[in-house]
Structure 1
């Protein structure tokens, strides 16, 4: 019996082996195991191969300078730290007799009183080129009183300096012209077409805009016109003493940016004539 089982096992084994050979099934060899000696670290990346680190781009400061805000020219303190006195008599001791600052009360602006004598002016210590200057003025009693504002005032200091006068004489208020005989020049003069209504004892406003050698005049909210091509085109601001009492208040100057330069026009392409 045992011999029969042994013979049967041998026959089955031979049959299975023959079947596997016929079907081509073979056992794949296991992959070789790498040893520590066979393993190598990958090469380090060179400096060129390292990714560049992105850095935030620093924004450059604007090329346009920051402009100061409006400056009050009667803001307390020592008045003569900001103004220079010039007169026919050339006596510094008389300046406080000709020009006097009266401090305002509560919520009231200070007032600069000019006696009108002797003839002369006060001018700012600072030089201005592109700016807007505004003030209010009043003649208390003289219907024929005379005074004015001088713009682009240059040295030498004398009566009268090289400058452009904005007339405050009541019948001619708003006229603008170069100081006669001073050498100041402009492309035109400003002559209002009709006298302004400027009652005595009342405050009147004057706003002057000076930019790139041009002067624009506005009185009591009415634009009177413009003077262009001024030479000089920068200088001090001055107030005249011309024989009559005049009061000033709310003197404010604000520096402006210059007007942008005009871009040249592109030439127009000329069309070629049709060939015959």
Structure 2
């Protein structure tokens, strides 16, 4: 027992020597979309187009159409973000985009970023959108190397590590994404689902998608993570 206790202390001290976790803050206040802005191409062309991002009964809701993104006003680096979401009516598509920068960089719709997929049965996949990331077993999880790419019809999807991690439709899912340096780690319902390294971006906005399906969010919480140098005390 003493050995296990000593080992636990050693592991904790090692983690704290590498990172320092600050106090969490909610990015959604349950009342309005303060701190966010919508980028919806259809709204540029049609003044009567609806904003697909609303607050309803204390939930942040992506109505799914017209397609677009809800983007944080602030830029973030070295953090952990937790979203709790559900497809209320039927399973569909959505995503959390990290390290987002240039708007409408792909297909005049998607901002330059790394998408962490939320699509039902694929939650935790990476999609490369004008940014790239590396995982283990790349050819198994991404396909033939000669077809890899970050735009157009290239192989941009990198499959997750674990299967069958989503809850049934109507139940709440939890996704945690940790971005520290050039690494991105993902957990879905407390199951480790992906780990990317050598990411070509290390900071940016965070975005939620409207991509065809209605999705409800009850929690969007960010925790800053401060990287410490070896000499830090």
TM-score w.r.t. length of structure 1: 0.61
Instruction: Please give the alpha-carbon distance, in whole angstroms, between the structure 2 residues aligned to 1:161 and 1:206.
Output: 21
2:223 aligned residue = 254
Unpaired segments ≥5 residues, structure 1: 1-65, 104-109, 263-276
**Counterpart in the other structure of 1:69:** 23
Q: Deviations over 1:10-59 (max 9, x none)?
A: xxxxxxxxxxxxxxxxxxxxxxxxxxxxxxxxxxxxxxxxxxxxxxxxxx
The partner residue of 2:96 within 139, 145, 149 is 149
Q: Of the two, which has the highest radius of gyration?
A: 1
Q: Mind listing any 5+ residue stretches in structure 2 that lack a counterpart?
A: 1-19, 136-157
Q: Distance in 2 between matches of 1:116 and 1:220?
A: 23
Does the C-alpha gap of structure 1 residues 138 and 244 become closer, same or farther in structure 2, counting only changes over 3 Å? same
- 1:1-276 equivalence runs, <5 A: 69-76=23-30, 78-79=32-33, 81-91=34-44, 97-103=51-57, 110-143=58-91, 145-157=92-104, 158-179=108-129, 182=130, 184-188=131-135, 189-258=158-227, 260=229
Q: 1:197 to 1:187 in 2, by over 3 A?
A: closer
Residue of structure 2 in register with 1:48 after alignment: none
Contact 1:101/1:111, CA 8 A, preserved across alignment: yes
Change (3 A) 1:83 1:197: closer
- Larger relative strand fraction: 2
Distance in 2 (alpha carbons) for counterparts of 1:76 and 1:171: 28
Counterpart Cα distance in 2 of 1:193 and 1:98: 31
SS in 2 for 1:170: coil
1:51 aligns with none
What secondary structure sits across from 2:38 in the alignment? strand
Verify the 8 A CA contact 1:128 1:236 in the aligned structure 2. Answer: yes
8 Å contact kept, 2:84–2:220: yes
TM-score (ref. length: structure 2): 0.72
Q: CA deviation at 1:155?
A: 1.8
**Helix, strand or coil: the match of 2:121?**
helix
CA distance in 2 between counterparts of 1:258 and 1:147 reads 30
- Residue 191 (structure 1) shift: 2.1
8 Å Cα contact 1:130/1:210 also seen in 2: yes
